[in-house]
Structure 1
Amino acid sequence: MKGFPFNSWFITLIALTYLFIQDTRAVIEQSLPITPTCGSSSSKTSVNYNFGIQLDKISTIYVFGDSLSANGNHRGGTPPPPQPQKEGVLYGGRATNGLMWNEVLLTKNGSKVSSYAVGGAVIDKNLYHNLKPSVVDMVEETQNYLVQNRKIEPETTLTSIYFGVNDYSAATKEKLANQLLPKAAEEYLEQTKKLIESGMAQFLILTPPMDRPAFSEHNDIIWNGMLEFQKSHNITFAHVQMSELFQKLDENPGLFKFDDTKSCLVSSKSLDGSCSNPDEHPYWIPAHPSARMQEYIAEYVTKVIEDCKEGKSNSHKHNEKNKY
């Protein structure tokens, strides 16, 4: 091996081994072990259904939501690389150890993600009295988008909206979840209407990842409101019941090749006490999916879009409880 120093050879070997492991890992991860339960277009209650979204036609995704969607840039610009920040737990501002599900969703065709999502966001902060002044809501995120006066191509643009977890927390603290979450749903539709009037015509609606009694009316209001927008404003949408995915995970983490239903980190503030292998756990920090789980989320959303549509759907409706 003359002319090929041992150090260089050793480093090359390590690099190749790492690439092999990464490649093998990707093969393991890209197989969703469940089939989403599809609903019907005539349903009066919230179900999995796609009214016409075609992912291969999309070149840009606009994202509105909380830390379950945020990618580190909440003004619609280029997000930071998904790399760990010094002494921190966020990867480029993401509450995970890699890419977010919306960044994974259309990576194969090179689509752009333009995010306005902010960690901790609720739908309407004026509904709650226990929030910090710094909390952002859908109202503000929508305004942040509208003031930019962006020109979009409706045929190639998808708008993702994923809120609810923080609303549930705030409403529960006030012991008014059953009263406040339906009001939040009405504001959700008001803000969505503003996005429609700005030119957006294709929507990806994700329900909260847990199924609580208080969310039943909330989800139904949004589902039926989107049906009305479809008639009155000629939009189309895909509706995804996220609670089904997380219920299946909660029941059987081994099905997803996870060791448990825990998070790798015990706190969102520190790396102290972290696990040895994040890929073994569905959460990176408490209640926030790990990079592997983000990939499963993207697969689940894709599966709903591809399978839950006219000619392929069934009428079974979700009725599951999930803790998140």
Structure 2
Amino acid sequence: MTATSALTSVNPTHRPGGYGAGSGTGTTARRPGLARGILRTPVYVLLSVASVFSVLPFAWMVIASTHETKDLFGTPLPVLPGGALWENLARLQESVNFSQVMLNSLVIAVLYTVFSSVVSAMAGYGLAMYRFRGRGVLLAVVLVTMMIPMQVLLVPLFQMMASAGWIDSTQAVILPFLANAFGIFLMRQSFLDFPVTLVEAARIDGASELRTFYRIVLPVARPQLAALVIYTFISQWNAFIWPLLMLNTEDKYTVPVALNTMIGMSRVDYSGLMLGSLLATLPLMLLFLVFQKQFVSGLLGGAVKG
């Protein structure tokens, strides 16, 4: 037995030519990865630049909230946090009772999110699972409501709330927009993939429609429901026009309405506005960071069919 055949019998991958022959395959395998990396470099650079520009307004809000208003118009502009944070916070609390305002926004946003999500889930379940005449027309009507501008609805809704005696009340802010067309459509799309045979089996076993919905169907749509909850909470937390029309008492103001009162005719407390905007943004960031996985999977749940 020769030396070459002995090496081949011990190591079947050995080929004459030593390390040079084997290294060619590794080099060839690395070339596609290197080419892909080179092609993706402009994309990474573009995304990095876009990320920096996206973070800059928030960074400036953080810096401005720690300085006095006069410092924000000086030359050069401050690029590091200052020492006026607690003074700005005390002035913000004194001017708009910010702790009460945050509590008002939290209560309204949570109540609206809970009830609107329930209504959207139940309406989406009915449009997806029940077969009845005019179902397609009803869905089209729901979707058409998304095209109606908010400004068109203000006057009739205001008259309805005034006739009901609900002006300057929490229910006037929450009830008119509980039926969310986007939420209904989102939940309907998620329920379309649910096997109807499971619903029929639950009915045969004697389960009521509500029990079938809450115990069997709804848990499957948890990602879409989580996305709807986040979207609904953020939209209500940031709502401005309707709460501005409905709420007249300062102790009932929400955060956007209260911050708007800080803009005077002759003087604007920009540092207080920046601090209030920063504090109002933190709950939304925390909510998204905690539920971002469910939010993304819920929005993309219907994009890929198994």
Q: Same fold (TM over 0.5)?
A: no
More helix by share: 2
Between Structure 1 and Structure 2, the one with more strand by share is 1
TM-score interval (norm. to shorter): under 0.3
* TM-score, with structure 1 as normaliser: 0.26
Q: Which has the larger radius of gyration?
A: 2
